[in-house]
Each structure stands twice: as C-alpha cells, then as structure tokens.
Chains A and B, each alone.
Chain A
C-alpha cells in the first residue's frame, strides 16, 4: 500500500510540487527525483505545496536542504506553502522556518516569484 504520492506542474518556469501523505526515508527517493527532474530542466523557482502532506521526517527535509544552495546559486528558490500546523512544527524544530520562505497559499508563493522576476 502506497503512503506517499507526488505530482508537479510547471507554468511560466515556476514549478509547483504536490507531495501527498507520509514522507519518510522509505519514499524520499521519489521526492528527490521530482526535484532533480525540475533542476535538469533548469526550473529553479519551486513551490512545494504541502496542503496534503501529513508527515515529514528528516529524510524529506534533507532533500529540501540538499538542493537549496544549487537552486539559489541559479537565482531560484524553494518556497513552501499551505503547511499544516503539525508539519510546520517539525520544520520549525530544526530551524527551517528561519531559512525558507513559508507562504500561506500557492497563489501567494507563485506571485512572490513573479514579482521578483
């Protein structure tokens, strides 16, 4: 039984990734593949819409951390939106909320990218 799903869309060179369910060390490769696929297509403005993400362990956070430098070097960024309070608490525990841009919803995250382009 699958506990994690992922899909993404790209519009105007801005990607939105939709992780859904339970993201842990078992399924983190699929999350990483999605990020790598975007980077290989030179998409570096990335929104991770967490509205359906119920759980994240350090394995998932590690992927968000591991590619940030490359993405910012290429003048892009990773923004996280629609994060539920439980998952936000976990991001906050390790200090991600000081480093990443957490935005209320997808439209706001996309508009922030459009406003700086």
Chain B
C-alpha cells in the first residue's frame, strides 16, 4: 500500500521541452528511494513515454495544457500517477510486433510497450473527463 499523500507532486505545462526535466526529477526520486541506478533511469524513461503520449495524443501537441505528476513511495516501491485531461488514451492490448511495424514504416507505437516492460504495473483510467495513468515499480518484483 502506498500513502494517500504523494511524497512530491508537480504540475507542468504540456511542452516536450520539459521532458528532460521530468526525466531528471524522476531519476532523482527513484535514486533517493534506493532504486538501483539502472532501474532509476528506466523508471524515468517510462515517465517520459507516458508524458510524451499525453502531449501527442491527449493534448494534440497543444502546449498550454496541464499535466500533474504525483510520486508516492512506501519503502518497497514507487508509484507515479499522471493526471491529465484531453482525449482519453486508447491502448492496444496486444504486444508489439517489431517486424510488422518495420514493414508498415511506423515511427511510433513503442512507448506504451516500453512502459509495460519497465514497470510492474501500468494502468489507465478516465473518470469524469479526467485521465489517470498509474504506474508502479517494486524494488523486488512481487
């Protein structure tokens, strides 16, 4: 269980310029919560992917929308909640088929799969026009 109150929360505008800052922040939070350095980097990448998807698909690259990030820790893991409005995400339940993507000359479609492969759980929901992405990473996989 994670506490109800986040250890840290931040609201950022929907600008890709801020992706690197979010990556550095997430890496720092994971590291001070005793995640291994390589895990911290991957958790940060999962957050980058989630935020990029929000900017591209939910906000259609509009830069004046809000994205709220909440970080929860409990000693065993890290939960990151991303809260946004805009178009609700529609996620494929199928995994990726790289050969098919290459044949189709696709330049996207890897982000959610990366999130799923990095984190122990990734869940999206929409409640009253507000979208939530919740990701959890345990220190030792449970």
Contact = CB atoms under 8 A, between A and B. Distances in A.
Interface of A: 3, 22, 24-26, 32, 55, 57-59, 61-63, 65-70, 86, 89-90, 93-96, 98-99
Interface residues of B, number: 31
Nearest to B24: A22
Given A25-B19, A89-B42, A99 B99 contact: yes
Given A94-B117, A99-B98, 14 more contacts: A26-B17, A57-B45, A58-B52, A59-B52, A61-B110, A62-B109, A65-B106, A65-B110, A69-B105, A89-B38, A93-B42, A93-B117, A94-B96, A94-B110
Contacts of A63: 107
Given A25-B52, A94-B96, A96-B98, A58 B106 contact: no
Given A26-B16, A26-B17, A69-B105, A57 B52 contact: yes
A23 B41 CA distance: 14
Nearest to B108: A62
A22 to B, nearest CB: 6
20 contacts: A24-B16, A24-B48, A25-B52, A25-B55, A26-B17, A26-B19, A32-B107, A57-B48, A57-B49, A58-B108, A63-B107, A65-B102, A65-B107, A65-B110, A66-B105, A67-B105, A68-B102, A69-B102, A93-B42, A94-B98
Contacts of B55: 25
A48 B30 CA distance: 30
B103 interface: yes
